[in-house]
Amino acid sequence: LLSLKLESRTKGKLQKQICQVVLDHFEKQYAVELGDAWTSVRDVLTHPFCWQYAVLLNKFSQSAELESTLRAKGYHPAFQGPLPYLPASLKCYIRRNPGRFPAQKHQAGKLKGYYLLNAASLLPVLALEVKDGEDVLDLCAAPGGKSVAMLQCAYPGQFHCNEYHDLRSRWLKQTIESFIPDPLINLITVSKLDGRQIGDLKPEFYDKVLVDAPCSNDRSWLFSSDVQQATLRLIQRKELSSLQFQLLRSAIRALRPGGSLVYSTCTLSKAENSDVINLVLSSCSDVVPVDMREMAKAVSQEFTFLGGTEQHELLVLPEKGRAWGPMYLAKLKKTSST
């Protein structure tokens, strides 16, 4: 009964917070870009009580009890299909029912057992295919979930997590301290550099680069409590694609020939997704797109993808029972020196 009361209170609270200015803007844009799919996507995005949360286990703080608790609560392992890349050490649990597993508080000197996240956030990590000994850059790493996930998959030679924004950089450091044990932490460099400059500072240094770019975060923007701030965000939204393009160019410079790059955002916006990738492909002769259809097929049980996209890109559309995303990702490979 108490949980029902809490849920109805949460429903009421979250329902009231929808920012009409943002919703109107999305209606105009996404009805055109997504067509009929927008109606069901909007239903999920505007009703947080149907959102789902995945539980990513921390292999550095393993607990058999945790896995049996998750199973008892109706969770099952995600990613059952024959994925091209799925390390056994990456364990993620999901369930069809909405709701969030209890979060763990940060305690200095104590590792957390799991990380709560949108299951679609793991797709860029799976697409990047990090192997032991590779030098890896997470260019826009805060809050750190994808960095933590990459370290569940492999032991990089050098692992560079960068976050330019001051507050988010502190958040990133705390996440890494909460999940990664001491000996491994020494392999991780956390920096606060302007991501647009890393390509010049570290040319052709990395085997793999993740660009989880700053974007219009559709889920959180819909619940902006400050209308003025929301309006300003929508005005500044037009400038994001330019920043994303510059970050990608920098990432390409930082990549070794033969290395791979994954670009991701948590927005549905075409201007910040395929338009940015198309601009990179048309202006950078040293990168080629990488086909991700095999990966998409292997995870089609868990995720709904927008149809009609290019073979090197995926856009996860949230729907009821599979309320993951929005998450856009595209994969590129560097062919030669710049």
- The reply to whether 80 falls in a domain is no
Structurally, the chain folds into a number of domains equal to 1
17 confidence band (pLDDT: 50, 70, 90): confident
Residue 30 lies in a domain: yes
Q: Is residue 24 part of a domain?
A: yes
- Is 146 marked as binding a ligand? yes
Does 284 appear as a known binding residue? Answer: no
Q: Which of 88-92, 182-186, 233-237, 334-338 bottoms out in mean pLDDT, i.e. has the lowest?
A: 334-338
**Least confidently predicted of 8-17, 249-258, 327-336:** 8-17
**Does residue 64 belong to any structural domain of this protein?**
no
Structural domain including 251 reads 16-51+120-334
Q: Tell me: pLDDT of 9 over 50.
A: no
Q: Is residue 92 part of a domain?
A: no
The Cα-based distances of 52 to 25, 119, 212 in angstroms read: 25, 9, 21
In a domain, 102, yes or no: no
At 338, the pLDDT band (50, 70, 90 cuts) reads: low
Report DSSP letters for 22-34, one per residue: HHHHHHHHHHHHH
In tens, the pLDDT along 214-254 reads 999 999 999 999 999 999 999 999 999 999 999 999 999 99
Mean pLDDT of the 63-91 span: 95
Q: Is residue 104 part of a domain?
A: no
Q: Is 140 marked as a binding-site residue?
A: yes
Residue 194 assigned ligand-binding role: yes
Catalytic machinery residues:
266
Q: E strands, 79-223, where?
A: 92-94, 114-117, 135-138, 158-162, 188-191, 206-212
* CA distances in angstroms from 157 to 84, 130, 141, 193, 251, listed in the order given: 22, 11, 18, 21, 18
Mean pLDDT of the chain: 93
Does residue 152 surpass a pLDDT of 60?
A: yes
Domain for residue 182, yes or no? yes
pLDDT more than 90, % of the chain: 89
The CATH number for 205's domain is: 3.40.50.150
Give residue-wise pLDDT tens across range 56-69.
999 999 888 999 99
